[in-house]
Structure 1
Amino acid sequence: MPFRFIHAADIHLDSPLRSLALRNPDLAALVGTATRRAFVRIIDLCLEEQVDALVLAGDLYDGDQTSMKTARFLGEQMQRLALAGIGVFIVRGNHDALSKITKELTFPDTVKIFASRAEAVPVGRAPGCLPIVMHGLSFAQPHAPESLLAKYKPPVEGAVNIGVMHTSLAGAPGHDPYAPCSLADLQATGFRYWALGHVHKRSVVEGSCSIVMPGMPQGRDINEAGAKSVTLVTIADDRSIHIEDRATGIAQFARVPVDATGIEEWRDLVAAVGQALEQERSRVDAEHLVARVEINGRTPLAWRMRRDLDLLKTEADARASLIGACWIEKLDVGAAPPPVSAVSTTDPLHELHQLIQEEIIRSDSFQADLIAIVEELRAQLPPECRDALGSDEGAFKAVLAHLAREGAEDVIARLHAAGGDA
């Protein structure tokens, strides 16, 4: 009889809002509950597919959670699986290593939480079925700078060995190194399947040793855009493995580009935004689309867009509402005016624009003042929002440069408005 299980990771249950762009209370409520709703969808999928087990490869929580509402919710979902005879195998990752809920909440006997010392657990199966052994090791602390692979127990002879690990592998953009190891290292273990977690982007390596990073089941901000899913794994009696991607996302984040080149009328600009949203909504299978609209190109409306960004956002929101289940998380304007003719280069605003961009922004005194202001602002932000200003020095400098450029464009836009330019 085949052995079937759902492999999920990086759920970050009840993760706090991380984006300053989610100012709409209805949108904030949608995103704030999306991780919980996605987890319910995972449990529903386990029951619908009548799988043998659910494997959670770390970061079930987002940190040192103490909310009893989260505990009760999780306990209820585990009980649903227990009543159906579905086992659960959990390793703790860097985010939930110290979670009080994981350590104190009493789960049904069908739930196995691996300790910080490696364990090999035979899966209960009917006589004559292919033996399955789950190997796991939880993070003891939030940081695991060294590989944990050598600590895992060797494969059990005659059984199909499945390893569960939270790891950054050889490294991934936007992810700190945690329990690093290579694909070759994993393939050399003799395990048949490695159920990984930590990197939020899905990846699959098939072969004599299948290695799967399922990605996360629900994105939390625009930096976690795209379709989200879990993996349905079937191990046949001949030990062959079939891997399926199953969608779980409730709200899918997406960047929606709008090319405003040549658009001269405001109504045509609004129509272009609406058309772009409609096209993106048709491509997204999730219940909700959460879009960051990015308007670029050269248009005479560039200054007016910056000046009247609130009005443009209101009209765009109205278009999104007509589409249905479509939300605008933020509207970014990167559009620029058409090239300036030689005659108009004597325009004082044009000269001021050049002075700001070419001299003031690049000056040491301006840079020093900007760094001081942004660092003071970052210190006042909640911890989960501070990465919005860059997670390292290079990213921080890139954010500063972007803020400076955008600020200069906004200043010129307001000066145009003061001068009566429409």
Structure 2
Amino acid sequence: MFKFIHAADIHLDSPLRGLEQYEGAPVDEIRAAARRALANLVDLAIDQQVAFVVIAGDIYDGDWRDYNTGLYFVDQVRRLREAEIPLYLISGNHDAANRMTRTLRLPENVTFFSADAPETALIPELDVAIHGQSFPTAAVYDDLSEGYPIAVSGYYNVGILHTCATGREGHDRYAPCTLEGLKAKGYNYWALGHIHNREILSEQPLIAFSGNIQGRHIKETGAKGCLLVTVNDDQSTQTDFRALDVLRWDIASIDVSQCQGVDEILDLIATQIESCHGNAAGRFLAMRIELTGETSAHRDLHVRKHHWTNEIRSLAIDVGKGDVWIEKVKLRTSSPTSKSTPGNIPDDAIGELTSLFDQAQKNPGRLSELDFDFADVVKKLPAELKTLARPEDPEWLREILAEAEPLLLSRLAGSEGEE
């Protein structure tokens, strides 16, 4: 029996996106998240006394800003060497051969598979054969697995491949392949990379995405890590997920329809933050708060969004003891069905206005039917705001419309609220 680790998509020193800096946020800890996750991977390998480690591409996030990224990786590989653990690597689309202008010589315990053609590395003392090929360029659309050799007879065969497999939403269709094609090679285990969500594609043989080791933005929620693979004497195989991330992302969608006012909403948010923080098991937590439902506080929430966003950040600092960062606050609330008419404006005018907003939020394309040109609006924005405008993005338009409605109604009522 022996064990090995299957990891992928390290994205070392990749910037974590979508995190605004504000007082009390754990900035330094978050910047080092990818490095600490890699150190956790090495710690796990040493602690479990694994026979070897495979990384299925995207060790880096593209060319280094400076050599410190490469030096850190070499230092972690050195730790594996001192524990007599070999490392088998391929490059993916982010660290393809043509993207990396800087390189450093890696310690002798590393086997880096060529981008020219598939290669096979043998570990005779374990009767293990490892097959792999790196990406030559950032965009590979051919099925690289077709060129991989048939399994070495009498050996436990591992294939390392950076691929979209049959395709996954949100990921480029690089090196697509089929399960039938992978199975036809006769390998015992396929260690896949590129898709950041952990997924077992086949049990017999085992074909798996380990996912990335550290979430990088709000679309990568939940635990991130690697697969600890156990190979028994009869070559039967089991996988065990091990979390490595030091910063976890979470989305809290909170229905505030039963709340009587903003104070009750804040209490509900505090409870949710406490729960999510507990689920993160001592890790730093980046949260998105989404408020939904009909509430009488709808107008106040939107008109004073900046104020309430910072109230929620304050709650996170307090409840999370400095370990929770609010990535964004999204308001998806609506006013109660029986809307009160602002000022002396006729009910039918308000009804028509709110109906128009409702239609536009459900179908942002409705704005073009009304000859509304966002380009004219964007031209009038200050330079620092122009880069934030994304009129071609339906989700951005819905958010802007959701904020615009209560602001307009408040202006019509002659009261804009305080910021």
With structure 2 as the length reference, what TM-score do the two structures score? 0.87
Alignment of 1:89-168 (within 5 A): 89-98=88-97, 104-116=103-115, 117-123=117-123, 125=125, 130-168=126-164
Counterpart position of 2:52:
53
Residue in structure 2 matched with residue 287 of structure 1 by the alignment: 283
Unaligned runs of 5+ in 1: 391-395
Equivalent residue, structure 2, for 1:23: 21
Alpha-carbon contact 1:227-1:286 (below 8 Å) kept? no
CA-CA distance at 1:368 after TM superposition:
6.2
Distance 1:39 1:400 in 2: 34
Give the C-alpha shift of residue 53 in structure 1.
Answer: 1.1
Structure 1 partner of 2:299:
303
- The equivalent position to 1:276 in structure 2, one of 269, 272, 276, is 272
Measure, in 1, the Cα distance between the counterparts of 2:138 and 2:377: 31
Structure 2 CA distance for partners of 1:365 and 1:204, relative to 1, 3 Å: closer
Q: What corresponds to 1:176 in structure 2? A: 172
CA shift digits 1:304-340 (9 cap, x unpaired):
0112222222222222222222221111111111112
Name the structure 2 match of 1:393: none
1:412 is matched with which residue? 408
Deviations 1:73-92 (A, max 9, x none): 11110101111101000000
Q: Which residue of 2 aligns with 1:194?
A: 190
| 1:11 alignment partner AA | I
How many residue pairs are counted as aligned between the two chains? 407
CA contact (8 A) 1:91 1:138 kept: yes
Q: Is the 8 A contact 1:371 1:400 kept in 2?
A: no
Letter in 2 for 1:136: G
2:236 paired residue number: 240
- Cα distance, 1:367–1:136 mapped onto 2, change above 3 Å: farther
Structural mapping, 1:246-395, within 5 Å: 246-285=242-281, 287-324=283-320, 325-340=323-338, 346-347=346-347, 351-358=352-359, 362-364=366-368, 369-370=373-374
Equivalent in the alignment of 2:81: 82
1:33-57 deviation line (CA, Å, top 9, x unaligned): 2111111111111111111111100
SS at match of 1:224: coil
- State the distance in 1 between where 2:380 and 2:214 align: 32
Indicate the residue corresponding to 1:203 in structure 2: 199
- Whole-Å Cα distance in 2 between the matches of residues 216 and 193 of structure 1? 18
Secondary structure class of the residue paired with 1:201: coil
Aligned 8 A contact 1:288 1:326 in 2: yes
Asked if the contact 2:303–2:417 (Cα under 8 Å) also holds between the matched residues in 1, the reply is no
CA-CA distance at 1:69 after TM superposition: 0.9
Which of 69-78 and 265-274 deviates more?
265-274
Q: 1:99 to 1:14 in 2, by over 3 A?
A: farther
| Partner deviation per Cα, 1:161-187 (whole Å, 9 max, x = no partner) | 100000000000101101101112111
Whether contact under 8 Å (1:370, 1:400) holds in the other structure is: no
Write the distance in 1 (CA, Å) between the matches of 2:249 and 2:93: 24
Q: Residues 190-225 of structure 1, C-alpha deviation per residue, up to 9 Å, x if partnerless? A: 000000000111111453311010011111110111
Q: After the TM superposition, which residues 54-73 of structure 1 pair with which residues of structure 2 at under 5 Å, given as runs? A: 54-73=53-72
Counterpart CA distance in 1 for 2:377 and 2:167 is 33
Q: Percent identity?
A: 32
Task: State the alpha-carbon separation in 1 of the partners of residues 101 and 42 from structure 2.
Answer: 18
